[in-house]
């Protein structure tokens, strides 16, 4: 990937600079954890049972822990190491909850955490082809992120993804850690939210997805347990969430109150418990038939414009 600096009508290529220390990357990530990954920082170098977690974080969207590891050595197996750390998490839930409560001054209980949404993020300057191919398993709770540094103090974070996820990791990898993780952790898809018989709902959702990607090609749908988040690939945090149902598609406009958008038909309703539950204002609107999509898109565009400013 080439990175350029604009100078009038001319583009000047920025040369890539090598990052020599894992600690340098770790410091950058931890200082910008919310902006880069949308996560809450808990602690560095968290040691437990002869394993040391580089960065322990928390995802408030999924209410789950996230383990971040930084790598220079390319010889490691993302599957083996990833599942070892996830098994450590699942086998020592009370220790992780205690660490979170002590460092973040919260009072969560073990049952408050959605352990099924736990995941690990590997961060490195580059990954091998074999490591990238591992991302092709559909139920792998592991992410690979490249970080690159360029002239002019430019830093690029880029998630590596498989073009298609088909085979299950359980068909090719066996072991105690894999069994533990695959039993408790689930990777969600759009199909988990839209039942096969909900044909009209599927059509509404696909048209909404198509129109948001026409608005901005960076839009992507990211399913989690409770909803399908719509976010921009190069930004943390969702712009809006979607919750499909049998007879409609509910759209939650994030960081938005009804008075924040022009809504001449008064369709937008405020979720009264939103600030208490999610620490942000959330308003909702429903798509019941195809004619609703154009109107809802006018609302989404307003939220989008405030998000990208």
Domain CATH code at residue 159? 3.40.1350.10
Residues 6+ apart with CB under 8 A from 214: none
pLDDT beyond 70 at 164: no
Tell me: pLDDT of 294 over 80.
yes
The reply to whether 245 and 137 lie within a common domain is no
Higher pLDDT, 144 or 2: 144
CA pair distance 125, 296, nearest whole angstrom: 40
Position 173 pLDDT exceeds 70: no
Q: pLDDT, tens digit, for every residue of 65-83?
A: 999 999 887 778 888 899 9
Are residues 48 and 169 both part of a single domain? yes
Flag whether pLDDT at 163 surpasses 80.
Answer: no
Q: Which two tokens stand for residue 253?
A: 């406009």
Q: Where does a domain end: 146, 166, 184?
A: 184
Expressed as residue numbers, the domain containing 154 is 4-184
pTM above 0.75, yes or no: yes
Looking at 140, 161, 184, the residue that finishes a domain is 184
What percent of the chain is modeled with pLDDT above 90? 67
The reply to whether 222 and 263 lie within a common domain is yes
Is pLDDT at 169 greater than 80 in this prediction? no
| pLDDT at res. 228 | 97
Work out the average pLDDT over 19-26: 85
pLDDT-derived band at 179 (thresholds 50, 70, 90) equals confident
- Considering the domain architecture, whether residues 137 and 198 belong to the same structural domain is answered as no
Query: Does residue 170 sit in the same domain as residue 216?
Result: no
Tens digits of residue pLDDT in 85-117: 999 999 999 999 999 999 999 999 999 999 999
Q: How far apart are CA 117 and CA 56, in angstroms?
A: 15
pLDDT higher than threshold 80 for residue 224: yes
- Could you tell me if 236 and 97 lie in one domain? no
Residue that is last in its domain, among 117, 150, 184: 184
177-181, 200-204, 232-236, 279-283, range with greatest mean pLDDT: 200-204
Is residue 134 located within the same domain as residue 218? no
What does the pLDDT average to over 280-309? 95
The total number of structural domains in the chain stands at: 2
């Amino acid at each position: 990937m080439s990175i350029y600096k604009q100078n009038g009508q001319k583009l000047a290529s920025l040369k890539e600079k090598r990052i020599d220390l894992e600690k340098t990357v770790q410091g950058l990530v931890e200082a910008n954890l919310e902006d880069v990954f949308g996560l809450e920082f808990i602690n560095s170098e968290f040691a437990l049972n002869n394993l040391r977690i580089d960065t322990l974080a928390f995802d408030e969207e999924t209410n789950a822990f996230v383990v971040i590891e930084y790598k220079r050595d390319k010889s490691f197996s993302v599957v083996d190491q990833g599942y070892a750390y996830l098994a450590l998490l699942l086998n020592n839930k009370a220790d992780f909850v205690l660490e979170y409560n002590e460092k973040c001054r919260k009072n969560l209980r073990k049952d408050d955490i959605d352990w099924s949404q736990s995941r690990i993020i590997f961060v490195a300057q580059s990954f091998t082809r074999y490591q990238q191919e591992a991302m092709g398993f559909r139920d792998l709770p592991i992410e690979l992120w490249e970080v690159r540094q360029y002239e002019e103090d430019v830093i690029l974070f880029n998630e590596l993804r498989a073009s298609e996820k088909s085979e299950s990791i359980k068909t090719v990898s066996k072991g105690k850690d894999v069994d533990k993780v695959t039993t408790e952790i689930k990777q969600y898809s759009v199909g988990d939210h839209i039942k096969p018989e909900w044909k009209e709902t599927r059509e509404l959702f696909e048209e909404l997805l198509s129109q948001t990607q026409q608005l901005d090609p960076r839009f992507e749908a990211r399913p989690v347990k409770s909803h399908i988040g719509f976010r921009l690939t190069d930004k943390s945090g969702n712009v809006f969430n979607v919750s499909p149902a049998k007879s409609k598609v509910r759209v939650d406009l994030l960081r938005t109150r009804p008075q924040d958008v022009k809504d001449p038909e008064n369709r937008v309703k405020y979720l009264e418990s939103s600030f208490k539950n999610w620490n942000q204002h959330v308003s909702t609107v429903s798509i019941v038939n195809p004619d609703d999509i154009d109107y809802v898109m006018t609302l989404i565009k307003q939220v989008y414009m405030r998000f990208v400013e």
